[in-house]
Amino acid sequence: MPRMKFYICLISVFLTHLLWADDTLLISIYNRSSLQQVLINPDGAVYTVEGKDLNVSIAPGDWLRITKKEGAFHVQGAKQDFGLHRTLRIRASVSSSLLKVLPENPKKLEQWYGGNIRVEYTLKGLKLLNEVALEEYVAGVVQAESGVDQNKEYYKVQGIICRTFALSNINKHITEGFNLCDQTHCQVYHGKARAKSYIHEALGETQGKVLVDSNLRFIEAVFHSNCGGQTLNSEDYWRGSINYLRSKLDSLCENMPHWSWTFALESDQWLGYLKQKFNFPIHDTIHAYNAKNWHPQYRGKWFLNPGFRIPVRTIREDWRLRSTNFSVVEKDGIVTIIGTGFGHGVGLCQEGAMARSDKESFSDILHFYYENVYIVDKNRVAFYKKYK
Ligand SMILES: [Zn+2]
Ligand SMILES: [Zn+2]
């Protein structure tokens, strides 16, 4: 086993170096879709199709249909049959061109990709990898994450967060032969950001900028949809205490789309749950009353007195509540959980940041939600480390 680990380590060092050299990432697209057949169209320019004993050009209007077979995949072109292959690279001749990818089996939405596409045979299905420049990938993630209606300053915030995440997680899938997947496991990526918005302008003005901590390490730039008025310390939700993920009072997300929610259940059901799950003393009238009428002044880790050891996170997960920021009231045998916010509550509050971006700069917003961090150019990190 140690030998195996050594080789994985060696491969990862090699690949990281390779991928960093020109800032190109390998993203697994339609990850875990077990694709059996896919149609690929070049859009706007000529592409080269490279495989074993194969090197041909396809022009706009041509197509490639790739179908998984036993032990390989079959590549058909518009005018000719390219035979069976196990790996293929569809390489752009012009950097601004696009490939339209349409999975036909199983059917998925078509998406457009910049850069190159690699196809690899696996037992489960076709593995599609997008070789894409870091900045283009970040733009795609920002569009998938934030939509197209935000203002420029907000896109700068989200771009710096997504870029920092990509670089700090660059080895997340390295043993599978790529950097990041296109699902929430890493960051959602639906290909090139093509909609009209300020995304490209914002990313151009903050190109290469990342967040590092006081040891010049990329930070865990976690975020959530809406904090409900107060963000959490990292240890209030997860185990470790991280010095830049500190609780903040945040009134600017109030009345944004994910601000408030309620959840109602019968009082007996609520008390029965607390008794069964946490051995809560429901037969004590005062404790039972408090469990049905709880109005914390600030949010934290525990429900009621910390001595009862009832994490609000467990309550959230068990009842699928939108957040851990809630109070409890009882009326006529019904307990209503009245909550604000959406998400885990640690780090940056997206809707708060959106509201702030009307007046504040991306730098002020990032420094508000992440304490003691620095916004630096990713290419300067090694330099700063040397002279630290
Ligand atoms: Zn992933
Ligand atoms: Zn907030």
Give the pLDDT score at 388: 64
**Is 176:28 a contact under the CB 8 Å cutoff?**
yes
Q: What is the pLDDT of residues 335-355, one digit of tens each?
A: 999 999 999 999 999 999 999
**Is 265:335 a contact under the CB 8 Å cutoff?**
yes
Distance 364 CA to ligand 2 centre (A): 15
Burial class (CB in 10 A: 0-12, 13-18, 19+), 328: buried
**281-299 mean pLDDT:** 97
H or E segment to which residue 163 belongs: helix 152-168
pLDDT at 64 over 90: yes
Burial class (CB in 10 A: 0-12, 13-18, 19+), 336: middle
pLDDT at 20 over 70: no
Distance 171 CA to ligand 1 centre (A): 10
Distance 28 CA to ligand 1 centre (A): 8
Count of helix runs (H) and strand runs (E) in the chain = 11, 20
Structural tokens at position 174: 């390295």
Smallest CA-to-CA distance from 202 within 236, 251, 257, 161 is with 161
Distance 340 CA to ligand 2 centre (A): 10
Cα(211)–Cα(209) distance, rounded to whole angstroms? 7
Half-sphere exposure in the Cβ direction for 63 (13 Å, CA) = 10
User: By mean pLDDT, which of 15-19, 80-84, 322-326 is the weakest?
Assistant: 15-19
Give the distance, in angstroms, between the CA of residue 149 and the centroid of all CA atoms in the same chain. Answer: 19
Give the pLDDT score at 148: 87
Distance 224 CA to ligand 2 centre (A): 9
| Reported confidence tier of residue 44, pLDDT bands at 50, 70, 90 | confident
Distance 345 CA to ligand 2 centre (A): 8
**148-171 mean pLDDT:** 95
Distance 163 CA to ligand 1 centre (A): 15
**296-323 mean pLDDT:** 97
Sign of the dihedral defined by the CA atoms of residues 321, 322, 328, 331, in that order:
negative
Ligand nearest to the CA of 347: 2
pLDDT at 6 over 50: no
Ligand nearest to the CA of 254: 2
Distance 245 CA to ligand 2 centre (A): 14
Smallest CA-to-CA distance from 108 within 118, 100, 116, 99 is with 100
pLDDT at 9 over 60: no
